[in-house]
């Protein structure tokens, strides 16, 4: 049977005091409640632990066997509890691209100094999971690009918008343009995320801004290196403006685009949190810092 440590502590107190009255006083519980718990332990074990008499509570043979082992059991449990409390608490923050979380590191550094009992883990996910780990419960919060499938089931706070441009092969006829009109790209083969990413894929293909013109998908990728490689090989891809700072390839250029909506970046977290709550003050600080980026 499974025995609560509380029952063992009650048993140990009665064994040490030799009476229910003394043990109840020591434990700050009523004598009837203590009697009930001792009987519960005996019923669970299936043996009497005490011989009751007017003079007090004497241990039976079974009771002496248990009393000899309980201190070690309780000491081991107390040590385990203390070790658990000393272990750092962890906030797992997911993200997709460095451009969305560029200012987060300094916020995390300050938080770690103020609350060293917390450890913050940044986890990057590829584009096959636009929720950056939230959909599978792998993170506690995530900096995400909107829209993405399932975001209606999460608490999402929009932080900032970022213009979108286009990545072009360096040899492309528009590579030397100052600004590219989106309609000039409609017949180009585009790099796309997997079909399972739904609204996220559609956003980065700008399907709503094509006036019904069909999309040509030239490559399907889920990682930045594959994405850049596909562009270098002849495809084009819409990208946030920060891509020009964080991703480079000798055969790829970034150009502003006119005629597409911007990218929106948000901070998302579950509506119902089942594990230890992430520190709201850290997430609020991240939100404020990114909103000013």
In this predicted structure, what is the pLDDT of residue 76? 86
- Of 50-64, 144-158, 234-248, 274-288, least confident by mean pLDDT is 274-288
Q: Over the stretch 249-292, which tens digit does the pLDDT of each residue have?
A: 999 999 999 999 999 999 999 887 655 555 788 888 888 888 86
Residue predicted with more confidence, 96 or 112: 96
Q: Over the stretch 26-48, which tens digit does the pLDDT of each residue have?
A: 888 888 888 899 999 999 899 99
Q: What residue ranges in the chain does DSSP mark as E strands?
A: 50-53, 56-59, 89-95, 118-124, 141-146, 154-162, 164-169, 180-181, 189-192, 216-220, 237-240, 252-258, 263-270
Give how many domains the chain has, as a whole number.
3
Tell me, yes or no, whether 26 and 63 share the same domain: yes
The overall longest dimension of the chain from CA atoms, in Å, is 103
Of 121, 102, 100, residue with least CA distance to 112: 121
Rounded Cα–Cα distance for residues 27 and 231 (Å): 72
1 pLDDT exceeds 50?
no
Tell me, yes or no, whether 16 and 79 share the same domain: yes
Average pLDDT over residues 85-105: 80
Tell me, yes or no, whether 152 and 185 share the same domain: no
Tell me, yes or no, whether 140 and 280 share the same domain: yes
In this predicted structure, what is the pLDDT of residue 274? 53
Tell me, yes or no, whether 100 and 245 share the same domain: no
Tell me, yes or no, whether 14 and 41 share the same domain: yes
In this predicted structure, what is the pLDDT of residue 3? 62
Q: Which domain covers residue 185, as residue numbers?
A: 164-261
Tell me, yes or no, whether 139 and 199 share the same domain: no
Share of the chain above pLDDT 70, in %: 94
- Domain of 189: which CATH number? 3.40.190.10
In this predicted structure, what is the pLDDT of residue 147? 93
The pLDDT confidence band at residue 245, using thresholds 50, 70 and 90, is confident
Share of the chain above pLDDT 90, in %: 51
């Amino acid at each position: 049977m499974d025995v609560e440590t509380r029952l063992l502590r009650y048993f140990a107190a009665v064994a040490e005091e030799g009476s229910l009255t003394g043990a109840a006083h020591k434990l700050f519980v009523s004598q009837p409640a203590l009697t009930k718990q001792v009987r519960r332990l005996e019923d669970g074990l299936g043996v009497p632990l005490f011989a009751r008499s007017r003079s007090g509570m004497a241990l039976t043979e079974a009771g002496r066997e248990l009393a000899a082992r309980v201190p070690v059991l309780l000491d081991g449990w107390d040590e385990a509890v203390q070790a658990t409390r000393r272990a750092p608490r962890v906030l797992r923050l997911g993200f997709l691209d460095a451009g969305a979380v560029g200012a987060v590191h300094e916020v995390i550094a300050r938080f770690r100094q103020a609350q060293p009992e917390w450890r913050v883990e940044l986890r990057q996910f590829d584009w096959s999971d636009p929720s950056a780990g939230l959909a599978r419960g792998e993170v506690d919060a995530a900096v995400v690009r909107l829209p993405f499938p399932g975001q209606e089931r999460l608490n999402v706070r929009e932080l900032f918008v970022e213009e979108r441009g286009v990545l072009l092969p360096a040899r492309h006829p528009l590579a030397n343009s100052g600004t590219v009109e989106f309609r000039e790209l409609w017949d180009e083969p585009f790099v796309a995320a997997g079909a399972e990413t739904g609204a996220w894929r559609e956003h980065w293909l700008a399907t709503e801004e094509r006036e019904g013109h069909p999309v040509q998908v030239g490559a399907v990728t889920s990682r930045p290196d594959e994405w850049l490689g596909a562009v270098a090989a002849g495809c084009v891809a819409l990208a946030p403006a920060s891509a020009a700072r964080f991703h480079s390839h000798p055969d790829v250029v970034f150009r502003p685009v006119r005629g597409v909506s911007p990218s929106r970046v948000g901070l998302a977290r579950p509506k119902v949190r089942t594990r230890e709550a992430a520190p709201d003050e850290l997430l609020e600080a991240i939100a404020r810092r990114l909103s000013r980026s």
